[in-house]
Amino acid sequence: MTFLPQEMIRTKRDGGTVSSADIQAFVRGITDMSVTDGQVAAFAMAVFFNGMSPEEGAALTLAMRDSGDVIDWSKYGLDKEAPIVDKHSTGGVGDKVSLMLAPIVAACGGLVPMISGRGLGHTGGTLDKFEAIPGYDPYPSIDRFAEIVKTVGCSIIGQTGDLAPADRRFYGIRDVTATVESVPLITASILSKKLAAGLNALVMDVKFGTGAFMDSADKARVLAENIVRVATAAGVPTTALMTDMNQVLGRTAGNAVEVMETLAFLKDPAGADKRLMDITLDLAAHMLSLSGAQADASAARKAAEEALASGKATEIFGRMVSAQGGPADFLEKADSYLTLAPVVKPVTLGEGYVSAMDARAIGMAVVALGGGRTDPSQKVDHSVGFTEFCQVGDKLTADQPALMVYAQDEAAADAAIERVRAAVTLSDTAPALKPITAEIIEG
């Protein structure tokens, strides 16, 4: 019988249940382009409003995983019990954790084959950050990807044409059709890539707050529980950390500027932003213990701290960059390789304590500067963004810069400043500070 995409879309539009066979056919159509962008967008919107049953969600996840290759690590000489582990974040503003986390875990005995995405909506993308590094190749062959993981300990790449290709296209269409927040679509998108990498363990960073796609903890918990349930059922032990995204994570937001903060974090952990350090070590501890690379979470956290202090994680970051085509001397000469926008302006916000911020609005300010996309085919300006960004709890004086903006021209800088000023709230009293990890959900 001929598959008619519009009939499947109609079924879901009207709140019905779509069969696994139809989902598989639709995903094949996404992959071979026989399903149009409009039909993909229509299906995404129907799912956004009507959801999917657990069975439909699992069928979509597995169909997208199987739209391309699934890595068999035994082919590359690794034991089936090897600590092959990854982390995925649901996205945030200033979230550069993957950049330092992968080499930290690799320095402690984990093997991290990380398949990352580009920026989505108001959030930055790990892939966009790495592409700020000249020569970095985010699309090596699968064999090369596996070789880097084996020899260096970690590799961070984008979705190649061979790994979950259906999700690569679906991801881009969701980005520009206001269908990002759907729990079944987020789950399928995340897990199709992760399961294609042949993982033995997965740790999720599920964010909530003004800068997250899930604005409330309750919504984030639904997503976290769904991901843990689906991944565990697929044979991959998974733990989810629910983390606070009510402010910029770290002191930078952009692409090249976040790479700069990553290097500072790795080289001088004592000077790193506390929230950024806390979440990085929390995630590292769970990745190492869940995968069996370390005996338990306590030992894992200690090992991660030692990998930072000794410089081993920094060394592995440099080796990974070089192995993927970046400069061999990137660690020593990063300033000469990373391009920053020519217009630099300090931003004052007034006097008082930083008590709250609309992190989504700040993320959109980065997009407006050119550091994100409004169209899937749009090129990102890696040189723009914010540095020295204030954090909730900071006390500011009237003439004290709360951040620095990097823009291509004066008009863009001034527009970004207005967006930030509207997004940050000051008060006369210091706010109560909450830990960045709010809850842990285990499979």
Q: How far apart are CA 391 and CA 402, in angstroms?
A: 9
Options 174, 286, 373, 382, the catalytic residue:
174
Determine whether 143 is an active site residue: no
Options 12, 96, 169, 194, the catalytic residue:
194
Neighbours of 427 (CB within 10 A): 11
Determine whether 86 is an active site residue: yes
Q: What are phi and psi of 341, to 5 degrees?
A: -60, 150
Determine whether 155 is an active site residue: no
Tell me the pairing of strands 343-348 and 401-407: antiparallel
Smallest CA-to-CA distance from 402 within 348, 337, 322 is with 348
Options 61, 89, 123, 252, the catalytic residue:
89
Options 65, 193, 286, 382, the catalytic residue:
193
Options 61, 126, 182, 387, the catalytic residue:
126
DSSP 110-169: -BEEEE----BTTB--HHHHHTTSTT--S---HHHHHHHHHHHSEEEE---TTSSHHHHH
Tell me the pairing of strands 112-115 and 343-348: unpaired
Q: Residue 227 CA to chain centroid, in angstroms?
A: 15
Options 22, 66, 86, 244, the catalytic residue:
86
Contact 287, 201 (CB under 8 A): yes
Determine whether 419 is an active site residue: no
Options 12, 88, 122, 221, the catalytic residue:
88
Determine whether 312 is an active site residue: no
Options 87, 122, 169, 301, the catalytic residue:
87
Determine whether 286 is an active site residue: no
Determine whether 17 is an active site residue: no
Q: Residue 315 CA to chain centroid, in angstroms?
A: 23
Options 90, 116, 179, 189, the catalytic residue:
189
Element (H, E) at 103: helix 97-107
In this structure, what token pair is assigned to residue 332?
A: 């020593």
Smallest CA-to-CA distance from 240 within 436, 98, 441 is with 441
Catalytic residue set: 86-89, 126, 174, 189, 193-194
